[in-house]
């Protein structure tokens, strides 16, 4: 497989994977393009390469900046902003986990905390409180593990993966 074919396939597949995770497909494709690009790219370069609109590029670059997966660069004498993806894969995966946790898992923890207000007064409420209690115990363990994972520099994970 030649480089162009492999590069294009990676960009498309990364976008599809992101779409499966609930992240905008175009955001995934922009991230993939910036990941595999040697040089920083401006919005016009991204639009041209991916054949997507300026609005789509700008909206998704803002999201990537918020996720800290991309940083904006200013070049001296140039009015355009240029973008560069974070290339440290341990940091990339930590940032993805952090953002996914914030978007999907933290609301579950909040919901379960709110459900503690229900009092076990009958068989139905007893069952509800029992299930919510078990979910709360499990989600607190997962929350603790995810917090430990994202607060570390993932050096331990890198050591395991690099074996």
11-38 pLDDT per residue, tens: 999 999 888 777 899 999 999 999 999 9
Q: Where are the domains of the chain?
A: 3-85, 89-161
| Domain 3-85 fold | Arc Repressor Mutant, subunit A (1.10.10)
Integer angstrom CA distances of residue 79 from 43, 44, 95? 12, 13, 29
Contact between residue 73 and residue 41 where contact means Cβ atoms under 8 Å apart? no
- The pLDDT tens digits for 58-114 are 999 999 999 999 999 988 888 899 999 999 988 888 888 888 898 889 999 999 999
pTM: 0.79
| Cα separations in angstroms, 10 against 15, 126, 161 | 8, 50, 21
Residue 153 to residue 13: CA distance in whole angstroms: 27
For β-strands 70-74 and 41-42, DSSP reports them as: unpaired
For residue 110, what pLDDT is reported? 94
């Amino acid at each position: 497989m030649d480089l162009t074919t492999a590069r294009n396939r990676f960009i498309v597949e990364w976008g599809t994977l992101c779409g499966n995770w609930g992240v905008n497909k175009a955001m995934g494709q922009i991230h993939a393009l910036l990941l595999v690009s040697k040089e920083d790219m401006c919005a016009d370069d991204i639009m041209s390469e991916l054949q997507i609109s300026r609005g789509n590029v700008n909206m998704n670059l803002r999201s990537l900046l918020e996720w800290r997966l991309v940083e904006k660069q200013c070049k001296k004498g140039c009015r355009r902003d240029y973008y560069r993806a974070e290339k440290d894969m341990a940091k990339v995966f930590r940032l993805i986990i952090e953002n996914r946790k914030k978007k999907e898992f933290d609301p579950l923890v909040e919901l379960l905390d709110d459900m503690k207000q229900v009092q076990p007064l009958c068989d139905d409420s007893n069952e509800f409180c029992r299930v919510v209690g078990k979910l709360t115990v499990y989600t607190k363990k997962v929350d603790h593990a995810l917090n430990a994972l994202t607060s570390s520099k993932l050096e331990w994970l890198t050591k395991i993966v690099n074996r």
